[in-house]
Structure 1
Amino acid sequence: MTFETPEHLIRRFKVLDAPEVDFFLPKNKNGPLGKSTLEQDNDEIKAKLPKLFTPLKIHKNLEINNRIGVSPMCTYSADNKGSKKGEATKFHEIHYGGFSSRGPGLIIVEAASVVPNGRTSPEDLGIWNDDQALLLKPIVDFAHSQGVKIGIQIAHAGRKSSGVAIPEHLQKGISSALEGWSDKKGPDGVFAPSPVAYDENNSYVEPQEIPTSEIKDYVKAFGDAAKRAYDISGFDFVEIHGAHGYLISTFLSSTSNKRSDEYGGSFENRIRFLLEIIDEVKSENHPTFVRLSADELAPNDPESWKIEDSIKLSDHLVNHGVEVLDLSSGGINSKAERRKTNQGFQTQYAKAIKDHVGDKLLIATVGKILEAKFANDVLENDDADIILAGKPFLKNPGLVSSWADELGVRIQLARQYEWPFHPPPWNLD
């Protein structure tokens, strides 16, 4: 007697291979991860869903399955030797793969420098050459195999470059003896809009001022990095890092920008560098994100960048076609106030800008958002459109599932993980 599996069971149980990756990976047959299992096309059912678990259309080519994203967080694990400087390793594939397999709406990969001497530390990622971009492709491919959208933050650390990796618990510039470049002068050294050091304790070197004639080279470097991110790595979007005292941030702030040319002085001049980068990076086929320190948290410095400046800038971002403004705070210098750590301490900035721009610009907020109800309330109140989380994802890569449970929503899980939580029926007829 021979045993033959009925045709309808063959169709039901045949394991399909995910086409996005070059190894065997079972395809998630029930759709992208992190999406509510309720019928999304039914408006009545969709209206009952917590907003946190509703899809969001960011761009004509990009829709995310829920409103939860992984915030960019440096891991200081890139290769730092020879021709491989700035290259991603297997660690990055494992690290981001762990997030992808749990179904966030989007992931923003940590800051990747657009030039070698723009890294925060020698162990930062780079995307100034094609080899680096190619090594990021497996991260993107795996995310796509799970139905997750993924972008990368492109950056230049400016006067905060060539620092020791933060896990060493020191904020300090380092020399070539430790693979840094703080001791170098000329084109391979540390650059900023003005020769104003990050702090007054000689922890960071006084940067060289970028000549006006070379600013377009920096703008082009951002554009080239974005092109690699799209054409080689396959990312869905890029985020321009304009926060935390990095290069763009120091152009924006009068605290660090003492220039007298067309890139310094007036508000319009100080935002020029960022707007030129946006225009260079902007792609018809991909959305553009910008991360900004909404307020530099330096109330005793009348020249510091404040929330009122960010509100004013938001109109320019709309006019230059930015889709998402990702709001953080602080980082301009060592005298800035320590950040307050109550839950959602930065949502006040998101609300202020969202109230101003309305639907013309999507707003992402981040900063100690720990509970699903709190996150959902921020969205339901129209204070923001996207919730980003950093440390909560490091502590709990299954944060999306935890928040879904908290709000009573069932979401699509990876088939490798779903069956213990939702066992199939024993009757297979």
Structure 2
Amino acid sequence: MQLTEQQVLALAPDNGAASNGKKLAQAKNWPLLGRSPRALWGECQGSGSKPYQVRVDLADFASKCSCPSFKFPCKHALGLLVLTANQPDLVQENGEPEWVGDWLDKRVDTAAKKEAKAIAKADAPVDEAAQQKRAEKRSERVADGLAALQVWLEDLVRNGLARLPAEGPGIWDQQAARLVDAQAPALAARLRALADLPGSGADWPEQLLAELGRIAVAVRAFERIDQLTPDLQHALRQYIGYTVREEDVLAAGQPVQDTWQVIGQMVEDNERVRVQRTWVKGQHTGRHALLLQFAVGAQPFGQSWLPGSSFNAELVFWPGAAAQRALLKGTASPAAASSQFLHGVDFARLLDAASTTLAQYPWVERCAAVLTGITPVLHAGRWFAVAADGQALPLAAGDHWHWLALSGGQAFDVAVEWDGTLLRPLGLFIAGCYQPLSGGQLWTN
């Protein structure tokens, strides 16, 4: 394992847990330490007479501790991981204690039962007539809602965009509410998010028109959805807000077995819901996958994928054109961590791949890639990612001085998100160790 302290602290649920975890990362606090190919564990001496038992699954870095904390990972799990990152020789390979092995076996058993339950639910007999009737009724409501949206969009453009900064979010919220009533919740959320664009910058009209155009294409496509390919139908319905049950993904999605490298992670707050986007890349297939997790308020995410780590698993991709989102099938097993990215591309190949994806699925919001040999450059007040041949792409706002300091101005392969306009750096390897950039949570004292 080539863990770094920065990687570990990116898992912290808040600044306090990160700070307390660093304080616990001293050998004197751990009378028992050990590791196996599957896990890390340790006993941390607390304020009471009985030490806390801490274990970490090396496949997805999920953890469990006997302390009463409601934070995940807790300060003890963070302390164990920071200690392992900074002083790996202290954590010797050993036989798993019973309390570690039982926990790991229970996780495997729970995942197997969940998968079996999902498959059984997908295979269960259904009232096809009633299901068809519900689908038709929803389709009618969505069609009516999109028809009204089309009229609204035409009026918006006809009346001009110059007045929008003074209008405020009200007009967007009102139309979004109508889409919620029409059972198109994802499209409603996209429309509501556009309220922040008017007046946000010099090029806000171009950005707004591009997003409105994307929505208009979806409206027109739904009018003739029966003429689209099944994959594009799936993709369009998901863009509008039709949900796909996990059991249906397992039953109808595309399974891909590989060794997956976690190339980067983004965490965003969307009102009361936090969204975690974890990008992984198959070492053999070269395929990118997006693992999405959601958490309400301060609740932890279900899995703790650690950027820079690798795991062996079968992922099942959501049905649909240019599918990126995937679901873990069963359980993952830890794989040897790599000291570098594999399958890097240059700017031209990134843009070619993005344009090919857009041709298949016009509503793709972002894609991930590993760009070879780039460095951040500040020019005329704006940051750019610049390749050795001088080609450049603009960077999203962020602390790119951190990237520049880590790299010393040298070119490195960097994992990025590309949304068609801006690059968001996720992380890079320096001296064989993964360093997260502005894409994830990084807590400091």
TM-score tier (shorter): under 0.3
**Which is greater in Rg?**
2
Which is strand-richer, 1 or 2? 2
